[in-house]
Amino acid sequence: MAMREIISSGNELAALAARDAGCKFFAGYPITPSSEVMHEMSDLMPEIGGVCIQMEDEIAGVAAAIGAGMAGVRTMTATSGPGISLKAENLGLAQMTEVPLVVVNVMRGGPSTGLPTRVSQGDVAQAKNPSHGDYKSITLCAGSLSECYTETVRAFNLADRFMQPVFVLLDETIGHMHGKAVLPTEEEVNKGIVPRKQFTGPAEEYFPYECEHDQPAVLNPMFKGYRYHFTGLHHDKKGFPTEEIETCRKLIQRLEDKVELHKDEIELNEEFFLDDAEIMIVAYGSVSLAAKEAIRHLRAEGIKAGLFRPITLWPSPQDRMRELASRIPKVLCVELNIGQYRDEVQRSTGRLDIAGLFKVNGRPISPYEIVNKVKEL
């Protein structure tokens, strides 16, 4: 694969990835620590004939982005935790209407205003269920500068494949980190773009929500001659509201099954020194960088530690975590929250002895802290 080297920040690389992946519309509102994504998009979009709009607030930002998705355009918004809270209702609308959308969330401390300028991983649980109701969220988490780019590209492809919002989690450290990233070339990215499906038959035979039980809707771009209805209500095959029992059941089950039954297309993990590990560290985002450094120190001292890093957080890699936890004696979750993903590790593995190293004061976890915690175990 042809590669290139770029010196940039994580936030700026997410914006560059959006451009290279074919995004033509961005709408959002400045919020620390994600503002640089929008700043960069305001330069990149006009260069390719796209549009970047600063809306009046976060709610309007996601609403405009969803509108662009309805029109058939690859679209993105970016924000931080409080912005996701404001976007929640419209994110639920996008799940129900099956409109593809990429949402970059550069995490900071919370709840509420929290620690705006400090690092946190406090939005992991929120990303699983950003809105009420039954559906399966797709959430990716970058663990390096390069992945700020590659995971954003992957998010656009997944959004079009599964016809729903896809979240890309960065954290403040990764978003503001500045350094060298090794990326695929724009030409390589273009080769991997698969346009979302469209119906090409007679207009009178077009039913966007009439699809297999495990497949997404086929939404043709608006204003292109195919008429259908958008609603947040339960709807029939044409998109019109209905309360018919079986239609409602099949719709909601399909929103789950289209993701749950195709996890093999979504799941992506990294395993680092796990072949002979006696202690498995579970970490993601910027914390995984500290974990790798800690593992090198531990190995030098004869302690067999390894890392499991979920790159796809949701749906969680529960089968692989269960398999690894069945043979590795000790498991340690290291997170910049108070155990939001440890709950999932416990559920997935069936083990209640999962240790934790957590920090919620806005400061990063150092390799030294991880080394000491492992030695305690």
Exposed, middle or buried, 375 (CB in 10 Å: 0-12/13-18/19+)? Answer: exposed
The answer to whether 159 touches 165, Cβ cutoff 8 Å, is yes
Q: How far is 278 from 91, CA to CA, in rounded Å? A: 41
Q: What band does 264 get if pLDDT is binned at 50, 70 and 90?
A: very high
Over residues 81-124, the pLDDT tens digits come to 999 999 999 999 999 999 999 999 999 999 999 999 999 999 99
> What is 3-191's CATH topology?
Rossmann fold (3.40.50)
Q: How far is 306 from 294, CA to CA, in rounded Å? A: 10
The domain over range 269-376 is classified in CATH as 3.40.50.920: yes
Q: Which two tokens mark 79?
A: 């924000």
Q: Which amino acid is at 219?
A: L
Q: Which amino acid is at 20?
A: D
Q: Which helix (H) or strand (E) holds 369?
A: helix 367-376
Q: How far is 212 from 200, CA to CA, in rounded Å? A: 18
Over residues 141-195, the pLDDT tens digits come to 999 999 999 999 999 999 999 999 999 999 999 999 999 999 999 999 999 998 8
How much of the chain exceeds pLDDT 90, in percent?
97
- Please state whether beta strands 165-171 and 101-107 pair in parallel, antiparallel, or not at all (unpaired): parallel
What is the average per-residue pLDDT within 18-42? 98
Over residues 290-307, the pLDDT tens digits come to 999 999 999 999 999 999
Is pLDDT above 80 for 9? yes
- The closest alpha carbon to 72, from 23, 111, 34, belongs to 23
- List all residues 6 or more positions away from 122 whose beta carbon is below 8 Å from its beta carbon: 81, 107, 108, 109, 110, 111, 114, 336, 337, 340, 360
Q: How far is 16 from 32, CA to CA, in rounded Å? A: 19
- Please state whether beta strands 178-184 and 355-358 pair in parallel, antiparallel, or not at all (unpaired): unpaired
Q: What band does 223 get if pLDDT is binned at 50, 70 and 90?
A: confident
The answer to whether 11 touches 176, Cβ cutoff 8 Å, is yes
Start and end residues for every CATH 3.40.50.970 domain found in the chain: 3-191
List Cα–Cα distances, 43 to 14, 37, 62, in angstroms: 13, 10, 20
Start and end residues for every CATH 3.40.50.920 domain found in the chain: 269-376
- List all residues 6 or more positions away from 252 whose beta carbon is below 8 Å from its beta carbon: 133, 134, 135, 234
Q: Give me the pLDDT at residue 194, please.
A: 86
Q: What band does 335 get if pLDDT is binned at 50, 70 and 90?
A: very high
> Is omega for the bond preceding 111 within 30 degrees of 0, making it cis?
yes
Q: What band does 2 get if pLDDT is binned at 50, 70 and 90?
A: confident
Q: How far is 161 from 155, CA to CA, in rounded Å? A: 10
Is pLDDT above 90 for 1? no
Q: What band does 368 get if pLDDT is binned at 50, 70 and 90?
A: very high
Please state the pTM of the whole predicted model: 0.97
Q: How far is 38 from 23, CA to CA, in rounded Å? A: 13
Q: Which helix (H) or strand (E) holds 282?
A: strand 279-282
Average pLDDT of the chain is 97
Is pLDDT above 90 for 348? yes
Q: Give me the pLDDT at residue 210, please.
A: 96
